Amino acid sequence: MQIHPILAALRRHRLATLLIAMEVALACAVLCNACFMIANRIALMHVESGVDETSLATVQLTGYEDSHAVDLNARVLSGLRSIPGMQSVTVLNSIPFGARRGTAGITLDAAAQHFGGVVEFYVGGPGSLQALGVHVIAGRGPQADDFQAFTGLMPSDASVQITHSLAEHLWPGVDPLGKEFWLDKMHYRVVGVIDHLVRPDPPGWPENSKDWSIFVPAQPGKLLAGSYLLRADPRDVPRVLRDARAMIAKVAPDAVFDQEGSQTLSDLRATCFRQDRAMAGILVGVIVALLLVTALGIVGLASFWVQQRRRQIGIRRAIGATRGDILRYFQTENFLIVSFGIALGMVLAFALNVMLMKFYELPHLPLYYLPIGALVLWALGQLAVLGPALRAAAVPPVVATRSV
């Protein structure tokens, strides 16, 4: 196949060629960036929680008097534990993807000079850390005498478990066991490291701090009540939660059952990321529409060229070109134009990425998106031109002898 005559022909149709190439370039730029943003959203949605989501559910109660909290806890715990199939019911202030009640800034010294970061305090009663199903990778989990009664926001002096990523942030490269930190006057000692325990609201936090959580063991009491973690076999979880609602109406008629907050953790997770899922869906829609419009543009212009060149095609057929030659001519021509567009599009893709990075939290576009985008557009171009090219190949040689 000789490329030279094709280039010569394209030079006679500079404007149309340029337009198709422009369209391909724009499509390439948007395609690469939209795919990248979809991948980012999906990565966001798959944040590692560190807990056994499928086995867990939560019950949230409000509207009771603080003075009744201890009594309420006792009634609710014994009531919920009597539900068949319930493996454990524990008290936990915040719930991954759900209620958030312990976000605070910590310092690494008593004088509050070295700020450590804003972290999430999970304050839980006995058994709650095991119920979450997190893995202690260093040190120890909470022991029976770690769970102290308290009167303020949470125990003011406690042995705690922190996540690996938080330990790395606070004391990079150093063994965190035995280290201390402060929240105002409250003092905490690290006795264990857990691999992951996500914040209740991961979408709102930068990538590296989604996992900055601390588990503080405490005795349920006046200010640790009304938020329960239910654990059951994954198959039983929805049923157990339904039974729990009925049980609450029976054992705690003085409390208001928070419908929105009381869900399985899988449902809470889905709700937590629904915006991201919707956005990913929109981006897919944009990509499909964009590719469709680009393909239609190529079909339209290629059809025009085929019609315009009927005589020339006829002449070529008459002097010995095969149908295959004609077909390949149009395919090669399309390949050249699309390639030109892709080259331009890669530059545009990078420019668009830099612009998006300015306004949104988005990393650099990884280079491997470019060849993938190129392949997609080449395939699209070939597919779009196939119809018109076949019509061109079907032009009989006799056309050469007629005047149009």
* Residues that bind another protein in the complex, under the rule CB under 8 A: 15-16, 19-20, 22-23, 26-27, 30, 34, 62-63, 66, 152-153, 184, 223, 256, 271, 274-275, 278-279, 282-283, 286, 289-290, 292-294, 296-297, 299-301, 303-305, 307-308, 356, 359-360, 403-404
Least CB distance to another protein at residue 313 (A)? 16
Least CB distance to another protein at residue 258 (A)? 9
What is the full DSSP assignment across 18-82?
HHHHHHHHHHHHHHHHHHHHHHHHHHHHT----S-GGGEEEEEEES--GGGHHHHHHHHHHHHHT
Question: Given the DSSP bridges, would you call strands 157-163 and 103-107 parallel, antiparallel or unpaired?
Answer: unpaired
Least CB distance to another protein at residue 290 (A)? 6
Least CB distance to another protein at residue 167 (A)? 25
Comparing CB distances to another protein, the nearer of 293 and 372 is 293
CA dist., res. 371 & res. 392, Å (int): 30
Comparing CB distances to another protein, the nearer of 177 and 286 is 286
For residue 324, count other CB atoms closer than 10 A to its CB: 9
Least CB distance to another protein at residue 286 (A)? 5
Number of H helices, E strands in the chain: 11, 11
Comparing CB distances to another protein, the nearer of 108 and 279 is 279
Comparing CB distances to another protein, the nearer of 2 and 67 is 67
Least CB distance to another protein at residue 256 (A)? 6
Q: List, edge to edge, every strand of the sheet that includes 256-257.
A: 86-91, 227-232, 56-62, 256-257
Comparing CB distances to another protein, the nearer of 12 and 46 is 12
Cα separation values, 22 from 17, 185, 290, 344, Å = 9, 63, 13, 8
Comparing CB distances to another protein, the nearer of 115 and 137 is 115
Comparing CB distances to another protein, the nearer of 112 and 177 is 112
Least CB distance to another protein at residue 171 (A)? 23
Contact 14, 99 (CB under 8 A): no
Query: Can you point out the beta strands (E) in 143-185?
Result: 157-163, 180-183
List alpha helices for 113-163, DSSP H: 128-132
Least CB distance to another protein at residue 98 (A)? 16
Query: Can you point out the beta strands (E) in 153-194?
Result: 157-163, 180-183, 186-194
Comparing CB distances to another protein, the nearer of 69 and 229 is 69
CA dist., res. 386 & res. 63, Å (int): 68
Burial environment of residue 92 by CB neighbours within 10 A (0 to 12, 13 to 18, 19 or more): buried
